[in-house]
Structure 1
Amino acid sequence: MADSLTPLEIPAERVAGYLEQHPDFLADYPDLALRLQLPREQGGAASLAVWQLQALRERNQVLQQQLAELTRIAGDNEQLMTRVQRLTLAVFEADDLDVALGRLVARLGEDFQVEQLRLMLFAEFPQLGPHDWLRCGLDSAAAPGGMSELLAAGQPWSGRMAAERLGEIFGDEGGRLRSVALLPLGRVGVLALGSEDPDRFQPGMGTLFLGMIAEAVTVALDRVWVSD
């Protein structure tokens, strides 16, 4: 019968299961706790108390590392939020649309280190002067770079893109780019950001701040479009 087994015959799994269900067992048998020895990676043995202390120290170290990482991420997000706010204010405080978009391009270059930018609009904006980063009067049904799905989804997209599509968007400069972020601007157009760093705009990256930038540009353009 199973119940007649001597202590030496009890399977280790049953002992482990019992101790797991009764974590205070050794408190009732302190002498046993003092005699228990646990192996260490470097050889030798450690008492249960020493092993538990070491385990707690290692767990505390992991928690400290996780806290430091969370603190770093929070700091990075705070800096990004400050930059987005500064960009938004620069756009909305401008006296006219051409100045507003010029400030947008400057901020994206200075604060976000965007190497290449193209603003592609689906209407003519006579208020805007000629700029190498601007293309107006595009046909939304034949948007460059195969953006139909992007426009339908209405959400920022980031990742790598085929050289042919990069050329359609950025022209000759597209040959140097390795990652792209595309920001749909509602019915107005698309803002394309390009980088020579293949990891700058990664698939699946958070698009919260990209969406906030797109919204600021959309509002500025929509305001002029509607008034016209």
Structure 2
Amino acid sequence: MNSLQYPIAEGDIAQFLARTPDFFERHAELLASVELSSGHDSRVVSLPERQARLLREKIKALETRVAEMIGHGQDNLVIAGKMQSWTRRLLQTAQARDLPGAIVESLAAEFQIAQAAIRLWGVDPAHAGEGFALDVSDDVRSFAASLSAPYCGVNGGFEAARWLPQAAQAQSLALIALRTGPDAPVSGLLVLASPDAQRFHSGMGTEFLERLGELAGAALSRLQAPLALRPAGHAEHVA
């Protein structure tokens, strides 16, 4: 029978080599004679050389990933240190009425936040005259209660942006709902602002901002009035 009438298919060859892993051990001379494209130019290289080049590329890619992981780890250590310093400042603030100012000042110092502002509702009547206790609209309260995660993006004329000392310079914002606990009603809103339109953007991660809001909300709970003393016209909005 003429074997040319039934040529061997590439799949048959591949299956044979897969089923016969010791083939090239018995025919090692074939490996040296196989020539392939280099993969980068028109030059032809031997199979061992091509394999060595692929291995070097894989090693280089792994080295790059390791370097990135180390860089991220170092960045995380820096952020953790700043968060610890910021939290320590809150713990060392003796007077409850000084907490909003301490939060804003330490955010600027530790995280290079250009502007920040805080408004709280349901505040103890003893603090009614403070700037952080100034009344806010029901729209702001409803918006804060609707935030399942911090809002990050352009300043689209939010009412809360007008709380900032230099509102006209706020190009991007992070709006963070404040709660006294994970399942507690929203008790305020923290506004972070930047003159850079890309500092806070919709694609950024918000986990860090969420943790920041939880810590701030817990610290600011010292300013809250008992439920029995809160004005009936300002019922809490529950998210």
Cα offset for 1:45?
1.3
Counterpart residue identity of residue 142, structure 1: D
Question: Which residue identity is paired with 2:117?
Answer: R
CA distance in 2, matches of 1:101, 1:180: 18
Q: How far off its partner does 1:111 sit?
A: 1.4
**Pairing 1:60-79 to 2, within 5 Å after superposition:** 60-79=59-78
- The equivalent position to 2:136 in structure 1, one of 135, 138, 143, is 138
Give the corresponding residue for 2:222.
223
Q: Is the 8 A contact 2:153 2:173 kept in 1?
A: yes
Structure 1 residue 127 displacement after superposition? 3.8
Query: Is residue 127–residue 223 contact of structure 2 (8 Å, CA) maintained in 1?
Result: no
TM-aligned CA deviation for residue 64 of structure 1: 0.6
Partner residue of 1:93? 92
Q: Distance in 2 between matches of 1:7 and 1:174?
A: 83
Higher relative contact order (CA 8 A, sep 6+): 2
For 2:161, the equivalent position in structure 1 comes to: 170
Question: One-letter code of the match for 2:142?
Answer: S
| In 2: Cα distance, 1:18 partner to 1:173 partner | 75
User: Are the aligned partners of 1:97 and 1:127 in contact in 2 as well (CA < 8 Å)?
Assistant: no
Shift of 1:155: 2.6
Q: Which structure 1 segments of 5+ residues have no match?
A: none
Distance 1:36 1:7 in 2: 26
Equivalent pair of 1:160/1:180 in contact (CA under 8 Å):
yes
Percent identity between the aligned chains? 25
CA positional deviation for 1:149: 4.6
1:95 to partner: Cα distance = 0.7
Aligned CA-pair RMSD: 3.0
**How far did residue 75 of structure 1 move?**
1.1
TM-score by length of 1: 0.80
1:97–1:13 distance in 2 versus 1, CA, 3 Å: same
| Residues 57, 155 of structure 1: alpha-carbon distance in 2 compared, 3 angstrom cutoff | same
Deviations 1:3-43 (A, max 9, x none): x8659933335434554665654233211111101111222
Give unmatched runs, 5+ long, in structure 2. 180-185, 230-239
Q: Is the 8 A contact 2:128 2:134 kept in 1?
A: no
- Partners of 2:33 and 2:5 in 1: how far apart? 17
Match of 1:200 in 2: 199
What residue is the counterpart of 1:155 in the other structure?
149
Distance change (3 Å), C-alpha of 1:130 and 1:11: same
Residue 58 (1) aligns with residue 49 (2): no
Aligned position for 2:235: none
Check whether the contact 1:91–1:101 (CA below 8 A) recurs between aligned residues.
no
After TM superposition, the structure 1 stretch with the greater mean CA deviation from structure 2, 210-219 or 12-21, is 12-21
**SS of equivalent to 1:180:** strand
Provide the rounded CA distance (Å) in 2 between the counterparts of 1:94 and 1:206. Answer: 29
